[in-house]
Amino acid sequence: SVGTEHIDLDAARRRGLAVSSTPGTLVASVAETAMLLMLGAAMQAALVIRRPDQRRHGLVLAAMATTILALTLEGIAPRVVLAALGVGAGAAAIACTELIKALGVPNENVIMCDSKGVIYQGRTEGMNQWKSAHASTTKARTLKEALVGADVFLGLSAAKALSAEDVLAMAPQPI
């Protein structure tokens, strides 16, 4: 059901929470707005994590998810390059890739890279079932090639993976 019948309005007022209802508008745009609000709340929640290193990672993930979702809601299917260099494309890279795809970015717009280059369909070196599940159909074989025209770059392990030249090869105003 919709509306405010399942909300303790007195408790909400005591906590200073605004509650509203939008009768007759239970549509995708309401769900999308709710998702953006929840992602914003997740970003705020990351601020209260006590260990600075964990707080930083939580903020980055929430900010990335919010950005990608916002682009998707605007009808933009961003090209995302995810690089897990150094330690390779492990659980964190695969989880981020799955999140990016769950936010609406098409499979063909997500390119995952590891220390051996682009994870593409047909590659055999350094592959496993988890990487294979996200292998791209791209012709790019290196991170440098994958970055050409990319809207978003998410680096997960190696410092200084991008040069100024790499950033210039990306789409205008890359993230």
Q: What are the average pLDDT values for consecutive 10-residue runs of the chain, which has 175 residues?
A: 66 76 59 64 56 56 70 76 65 76 83 91 93 93 92 76 88 83
Query: In a 3-state reduction of DSSP, which class is residue 110?
Result: strand
pTM of the model: 0.62
d(CA 161, CA 146): 13
d(CA 44, CA 113): 30
Element of type H or E holding 157: none
Residue 57: left (phi > 0), alpha (psi -120 to 50), or beta? Answer: alpha
Distance separating the N- and C-terminal Cα atoms of the chain: 38
Burial class for 57, CB neighbours closer than 10 Å (0-12, 13-18, 19+): middle
pLDDT at 1: 42
pLDDT at 94: 79
